Amino acid sequence: MTMLTVVTEAVPPRLRGRLAVWLLEVRAGVYIGNVSRKVREMIWEQINALAEDGNVVMAWATNTESGYDFQTYGTNRRMPIDEDGLRFVRFLPEPFNKP
């Protein structure tokens, strides 16, 4: 079992309801819980299937140098990058999604 955190923005209510089946919603759009790797992967499949135009970050404890890993879904100003095996977040300039 691993500690998992999921933060959602602008996702459909059906995804929020689905996340609440496995995780505790401690604030609007913020979910936490202890789940197995298999359940974490299944949750990510649900996010990919149901998040539509929203955005999501999912972070979990793992045995790496930083002690965690994360992945994102959707458009967001914060972009994950990998530097020598460490995960960081790079901010895109404003406006990041306008033509």
Q: Is 43 exposed, middle or buried (CB count within 10 Å of its CB: 0-12, 13-18, 19+)?
A: buried
The pLDDT, as a whole number, for residue 77 is 84
φ and ψ at 46, to 5 degrees? -65, -40
DSSP per-residue string spanning 6-64: EEEES--HHHHHHHHHHSEEEETTEEEEEE-HHHHHHHHHHHHHH-TT-EEEEEEE-SS
pLDDT for the residue 98: 55
DSSP classification of residue 93: P
pLDDT at 79: 86
Tokens describing residue 80? 């994950």
Q: In the chain, what are the domains? A: 2-91 (3.30.70.240)
What is the per-residue pLDDT across 76-96, written as a single tens digit (0 to 9) for each?
888 889 888 788 899 888 775
Is the pTM for the entire model greater than 0.95?
no
Residues 6+ apart with CB under 8 A from 26: 32
Tell me the pLDDT tens digit for each residue of 37-60.
999 999 999 999 999 999 999 999
